[in-house]
Amino acid sequence: MDIYSELKKVTWKKEQYFLWKHDLYVLKEKPNESDFLKQIESKSLAYMKKWEKSEEYLNLVSVLIQSKIAEDLEKIYYSLRDKAHQGDEKAIKMLLELQKSSKEYQKSTSKSVGKEDRAEPSPLDELELE
């Protein structure tokens, strides 16, 4: 589940507002508020401010935050791995803790998936990173 897939479930104006509000434009710069209002053909953002209090909006924010956390975790992992490869003892310890936490998380999420959805375990799954 990613934020762009989830945004397809809301109206076009709400999608555009969410992209604008959270600066999620990919190929263009974020317009100022008056240009944005022209783009969505509205005179005010008052109804969007109301929408920000809805469960629908809060769910979208939650998906966005989860994706940001995943990005941060990936950056942290690679940074720790590089420092651990250089012999930094704290980084080595933290990397091993991160790997352990990741395995526990994978186990907990795999329990929620039905047996028919599970892939056969690979011998590579048990390998530790250097």
pLDDT score, position 89: 94
Rounded to an integer, the average pLDDT of 94-119 is: 75
Q: Count CA atoms within 13 Å of residue 86 on its CB side.
A: 9
- Between 60 and 1, the higher pLDDT residue: 60
pLDDT in tens, 41-59: 999 999 999 999 999 999 9
Distances (CA, A) of 104 to 27, 54, 75, 76, 97: 38, 33, 20, 18, 11
Rounded to an integer, the average pLDDT of 71-93 is: 93
- Position 116 pLDDT exceeds 50: no
* Angle formed at CA 100 by CA 97 and CA 71, multiple of 5 degrees: 80
For residue 72, give the H/E element and its range: helix 55-85
Question: Which of these, 76, 53, 73, lies nearest to 65 by C-alpha position?
Answer: 73
pLDDT score, position 25: 85
DSSP state of 129: P
pLDDT score, position 121: 61
What 3-state DSSP class applies to 46? helix
pLDDT score, position 12: 96
Q: Using a pLDDT cut of 90, give the percent of the chain over it.
A: 67
Weakest-pLDDT range from 13-22, 25-34, 67-76, 121-130: 121-130
Residues 9/11/16/20 CA torsion (nearest 10 deg): -80
